[in-house]
Homo-oligomer: A and B are copies of this chain.
Amino acid sequence: MTNCYKYRSHCPINQTVELLGDNWSMLIIRDMLFFSKTSYGEFFESSEGISTNILATRLKQLEANGIIEKYIDKKDRKKSIYLLTEKGLGLAPLLAEMLLWGYEHGDKPEEFSSVAKKLKTDREAVLSSVLEKYRKQRLSIV
């Protein structure tokens, strides 16, 4: 993001909205942070059924806004790998709140009850552990 970029308003909540683009971005970031996904193919396989053009556009936008970085896969140099930057990892608390609210008001699936409970009772510890795990994964890849 260059300094000449003009946001629609000075409100930081709006600036978050603009930097993220739309809610598909949050699902891509969720896939990276919580499910250790790194490739276009892996993001595409997620059960929400993101379309190829939306996925490609969001990855470009997230990269342009410094939230993710694109690398060449060392094991297969024809493949790209996407990793969250520290700025992107800063969205972890936002994802945590989305998970908690969605669990409370959505269909409360059994497989998420444990993480929702842990997040509610010990938010900071859960977030620290998720971030530490991600940074280790990133170090092993880059």
Chain B residues in 8 Å Cβ range of A22: 22-23
CA distance A1 to B112 in the complex (A): 20
* Contact between chains at B10 and A107 (CB < 8 Å): yes
Q: Is the interface of A mostly helix, strand, loop or mixed?
A: helix
Q: How many subunits of this chain does the assembly comprise?
A: 2
Chain B residues within 8 Å of A100, by CB: 12, 93
Give the interface size bracket for A toward B: 35 or more
Q: Are A19 and B94 in contact (CB under 8 A)?
A: no
Mark out the residues of chain A between 8 and 22 whose CB falls within 8 Å of any chain B CB in the assembled complex. Answer: 8-17, 19-20, 22
| Contact A101/B91 with A48-B8, A49-B8 known, Cβ cut-off 8 Å | yes
Nearest opposing residue in chain B for A108, CB measure: B12
B-contact 0/1 string along A87-121, CB 8 Å cutoff: 10011011111111111111101011000100000
